Chains A and B, each alone.
Chain A
């Protein structure tokens, strides 16, 4: 049957929405943990050590997360390719801004900007972690007898260029989420006279608070270097 979940337009959109929800949830917990780096270095170290060494998180949840990102990326590209093939001849005169907003029309662009940023982010934090833990075999989380996590994070944000790239990337993420958050509900079939307007407000809040929160964290570390 060619109308199952993964091989129909509606099914693929539902999968896109589910991967979107998953990433939204991940981003939220990532944000909360990072926020601790502003509040208390010790607490941040404790949590980071737990996240970095817990077997369930490292060997079950982390692969799921990577799969979730790759799936979201691949499905997003696939859908966009189909979508542009659905209109081989474009209009000579088109005014899309008369009936829709920029964010909703440019999910691929904002998404790819996020992906590019993730390349840098992996290089900054993920690859060093992999190197320390899996290649050097050091799971202690220690450097000179003290937890290294907060120091490493803080150190990364002394470079103004890196901080700027992070800030710009989060603006793209905010644009992506301002449409994505509420769009995922609609794709999953959720549309309610009373709750949909509330979801749209929550989406706006999420798309402002989380990206700007991350920007705040990056700037905080930049300006508190000694």
Chain B
């Protein structure tokens, strides 16, 4: 396949970036999108141009590091996949492909296609944990009965890999799907009850501080989420938040 790529280039945080056009030829339709970018970079190096910086780690859809807004959609045109799992067969020979970084005030571009997602880390640090001692006195898993339904709900929420596609996709750059997943994975389990109230209040507060937008319930996030996190978790977070802010003692 021969492709025309319109790639966002930006030197650093401060400088204004812009789209550059590169042509790549002879790409196999079995290649992954990141492999295609590797080939493009090799070509750029040969030409003496600085290669394009882009993020990745596992390349098997589990770490959430690869990002990219491809042809107007987070992680490209395929569904329920990250960019490392996106294959070139989703594109047509001769196609022009736009490749842009996530766009959000709370996730500024560091270089080229790489954005700073530490806002997600700070949200996690504000409450996305349980303070139970897990060393030494581990109890038998079956000693703590958990309804099957709650276990499943918590497990589905915990599938979130923190990729940020929800933010990138949302017209408001809202992080509510991410935060809802992180709140819910504990809210459905007994281990999460101790800090439940403070958790949701702190995490929402941190989310607002970071400058993410407000949810308008367009549902775009759940469509583009590689892990199919449902917006029913946003309703769950809203319930948790309401009950916590109506009754919190702090």
A interface residues, Cβ below 8 angstroms from B: 1-5, 8-14, 79, 82-96, 98-101, 104-105, 107, 179, 182-183, 186-191, 196
- B198-238 with Cβ < 8 A to chain A: 201-202, 204-205, 207-208, 211-220, 223-224, 231-232, 234-238
B interface residues, Cβ below 8 angstroms from A: 6, 8, 19, 69, 71-73, 77, 98, 100, 103-106, 169, 171-174, 176, 201-202, 204-205, 207-208, 211-220, 223-224, 231-232, 234-239, 241-242, 245, 250
Q: Is the CB of B238 within 8 A of A85?
A: no
Mind listing 7 A-B residue pairs with CB under 8 Å?
A4-B245, A8-B241, A9-B208, A79-B214, A92-B8, A107-B216, A186-B235
What CA separation (Å) do A8 and B202 show in the bound complex? 11
Question: A86 touches which one: B6, B172, B204 (CB < 8 A)?
Answer: B172
- Known A-B contacts A9-B207, A100-B220; the reply to A82 vs B237 at CB < 8 A is no
Q: Is the CB of B216 within 8 A of A183?
A: yes
What CA separation (Å) do A196 and B232 show in the bound complex? 10
Question: B72 touches which one: A2, A83, A87, A93 (CB < 8 A)?
Answer: A93
What CA separation (Å) do A99 and B216 show in the bound complex? 14
What CA separation (Å) do A83 and B167 show in the bound complex? 12
CB nearest to A107 among chain B residues: B216
Q: Report B-chain residues with C-beta under 8 Å of the C-beta of A179.
A: 217
Question: B220 touches which one: A12, A96, A182, A183 (CB < 8 A)?
Answer: A96
- Known A-B contacts A83-B172, A191-B231; the reply to A13 vs B214 at CB < 8 A is yes
- 20 additional contacts (CB under 8 A) given A92-B8, A186-B231: A3-B241, A3-B245, A4-B245, A11-B245, A13-B215, A82-B172, A82-B214, A83-B171, A83-B174, A86-B105, A86-B106, A86-B212, A90-B103, A96-B72, A98-B72, A100-B220, A104-B219, A179-B217, A187-B238, A196-B232
Q: Report A-chain residues with C-beta under 8 Å of the C-beta of B100.
A: 91-93
Q: Report B-chain residues with C-beta under 8 Å of the C-beta of A86.
A: 104-106, 172-174, 211-213
Q: Report A-chain residues with C-beta under 8 Å of the C-beta of B238.
A: 10, 13-14, 186-189
What CA separation (Å) do A182 and B216 show in the bound complex? 11
Q: Report B-chain residues with C-beta under 8 Å of the C-beta of A88.
A: 105
Q: Is the CB of A91 within 8 A of B103?
A: yes
Q: Report B-chain residues with C-beta under 8 Å of the C-beta of A196.
A: 232
Q: Report B-chain residues with C-beta under 8 Å of the C-beta of A12.
A: 214
What CA separation (Å) do A5 and B246 show in the bound complex? 9
Minimum C-beta distance from B163 to chain A (A) = 15
Minimum C-beta distance from B232 to chain A (A) = 4
Q: Report B-chain residues with C-beta under 8 Å of the C-beta of A93.
A: 6, 69, 71-72, 98, 100
Q: Report B-chain residues with C-beta under 8 Å of the C-beta of A99.
A: 73, 169, 218-220, 223-224
What CA separation (Å) do A84 and B77 show in the bound complex? 24
What CA separation (Å) do A33 and B245 show in the bound complex? 39
Minimum C-beta distance from A186 to chain B (A) = 5
Minimum C-beta distance from A7 to chain B (A) = 8
Q: Is the CB of A11 within 8 A of B241?
A: yes
Most buried by B among A10, A83, A188, A191: A10
Question: B6 touches which one: A10, A92, A191 (CB < 8 A)?
Answer: A92
CB nearest to A182 among chain B residues: B217
Q: Is the CB of B215 within 8 A of A87?
A: no
In the A-B complex, list the 4 residue pairs whose CB atoms are closest, starting with the nearest. Answer: A95-B72, A191-B235, A86-B213, A83-B172
